Every structure is written in C-alpha cells, then in structure tokens.
Amino acid sequence: MQPVDILMLKAMHPGVMSAVEARFTLHRLDLAPDPEAFFQEIGPRIRGLATGAQAPVDRALIARLPTLEIVASLGVGYDTIDTGAARERGIVVTHTPDVLTDEVADLALGLLLATVRQIPQADRYLRAGHWPRQTYPLTPTLRGRTVGILGLGRIGRAIATRLEGFGVAIAYHGRRRQPGVAYDYHPTLLGLAEAVNVLLVVAPGGPETTGLVDAAVLEALGPQGLVVNVARGSIIDEAALIQALQAGTILGAGLDVFAREPHVPPELIAMEHVVLLPHVGSASVHTRAAMGKLVVDNLTAWFDGRGPLTPVPETPWTTRP
C-alpha cells in the first residue's frame, strides 16, 4: 500500500506525533525552513491533516492541499476550521468529543470554586506572609446562588450533574429546550442572566456565538454576578467584560479562554477579583492522551476505508469518495 502523507501544522502531543509517524508519512509545516517551497513540493501529496485549535485551517490553506481528504482535529471545538470550505471539497472534519467531557467539567467546577472563594488570592496572601498579621478577609459564597449554563451540550450536562451535588439551583439557555431536562430553560440569554447570578459559558465558538455575552448580559447578572468561561474567548465581549469588572457591574470572573490567545489583556491580569488560567480545560496527561488517540484513530479508520469515527455535523459522511 502506498504510504499516506499527513500534514501537521504545529507540534502536537508527543503520543499523537509518534503514532502518526508509525502509521503514516508525517510532514511538519512548523519545521519547514521555506513554507512556500514546502507547499509546492509536499502540498499536492497531503491526504490527511492533523491539527488543534491553535493552528487554524482556513479556506486558503485547504486550497493549497488539492488531494486533502480528512482534517482530524484535537479538541471538541472546531471553530478554527473552515468547515464550509471543507464540505465544498468533500473533505471530512473530525473532532474529539466525549473523551474530554469529564475533564473540562471538573475544571469548570474548580474554576467556579476558585473564583467565588478566592482560592488563588488566598494562596498568594499566605505566601506573601500576611496571615500572621491579619486573617484573610471573608469571601463570597456559592450558597444560595443560581447557576446559569450557556450551552447544555455534553460538557454543560456534565457540569450540571456536578452542580447538583452542591445544592444550587440550575438553569440553562441554548438554541432550544432540551427534552427530559428538568432545569429551568430560558429562551433568551438575557432572560437567563436576569434569573441567575453565576453564568457558566460552555457554548461552542464561531460566528453565531461571537460576542454573545455582551454588556447587557453582564449587567443583568448584577453586582454579585460571576462569569466562568471554559468554552471560547470569542463568546464574551472581552472589552465589555473588562469594563463590567472594573466598574463593579459584576463581582468577578474565572476565565480559562481568551479572545486572542495566548495574549491576555493586561487589564484582566491586573485585577485581583479575576482568576485566569492558560486554556487548560482538558490539559491533563490522561485526557490529552485519549484525545490524541482519537485523532490518530480517525485518521487510521479513514485510510483503512472504514470511514471517520467522530465527524462533525457540518461535514457528514455517508460513503467514502
């Protein structure tokens, strides 16, 4: 069988790279001294592409790979891939759902608790030697709060299940009411924000959700409101969030994602009532290994003629072209 050429735009999990190299012929764009010469020589041979959210796959890149058949993405979100351009060419796009659900849900709960109980701030207070002179100030609490979830998909449901154990009221907003779900449903995000004082953002990224959490939504949360985002930075109007935090329109925020990663606005970094993480929602050794295996399994299944394992809805697969 003729070796299959696979392109990797940037370095990925070592397990992914070694597994791809063992099964296919791997090419690394990030190691190419002359990218233009690379595309001219190697581009026409590339049949598969392995990537992650930090390496966008746009229409121009797809056009440079005339024999591309599959884009295997590491992550549940795939808003950095032009699925429309892929669909036009008959290219299937896959992602890695389910294997990261529990990890991200765990992190979301941890980030919520860290934000409301000021865990990182208390840690810094102790390390700075302040405790012998004065006890740490009392913090806000999760008690008596109502948590609103924006996006009750796989991860949103897993977060809600965990929240039930904390005895808080739960509500949600999405494109439609979900059958068999007992949580209060709000047909508008503004309505959800008015009914809750914690907003957990778990919706998919992309043009439909860009700036969805705006100044009006933040104001509706109220002065005791908290925002926790483990989805995509683009979903929150970052400038409006900064203004709301500076003005005391809301109480605080816990953010694992940002609009221009890895660049974080200095205004956010300067605030003590904000907890910031470097997009580590699924970043455990166990879960990243499982995600990487699914990337490789999708490539292997495709080129073995079995079809993709986890194609995205925008590029449905019926028969191999």
Catalytic: 232?
yes
Cβ(192)–Cβ(220) below 8 Å: no
Catalytic residue among 23, 154, 261, 314: 261
Measured in degrees and rounded to the nearest 5, phi and psi for residue 145 equal -90, 160
Decide if 95 is catalytic. no
- Out of 64, 154, 273, 279, the active site residue is 279
Neighbours of 75 (CB within 10 A): 20
Q: Answer yes or no: 261 catalytic.
A: yes
Q: What does the alpha-carbon distance between residue 84 and residue 313 come to, in Å, rounded to a whole number?
A: 11
Give the burial class of 264: count Cβ atoms within 10 A of its Cβ; 0-12 exposed, 13-18 middle, 19 or more buried: middle
Catalytic residue among 173, 186, 232, 288: 232
Measured distance CA(201)–CA(230) in Å, rounded: 6
Query: SS in 3 state form for the chain?
Result: CCCCEEEECCCCCHHHHHHHHHHCEEEEHHHCCCHHHHHHHHHHHEEEEEEECCCCECHHHHHCCCCCCEEEEECCCCCCECHHHHHHHCCEEECCCCCCHHHHHHHHHHHHHHHHCCHHHHHHHHHCCCCCCCCCCCCCCCCCCEEEEECCCHHHHHHHHHHHCCCCEEEEECCCCCCCCCCEECCCHHHHHHHCCEEEECCCCCHHHCCCECHHHHHHHCCCCEEEECCCHHHECHHHHHHHHHHCCCCEEEECCCCECCECCHHHHCCCCEEECCCCCCCCHHHHHHHHHHHHHHHHHHHCCCCCCCECCCCCCCCCC
Give catalytic residue positions: 232, 261, 279
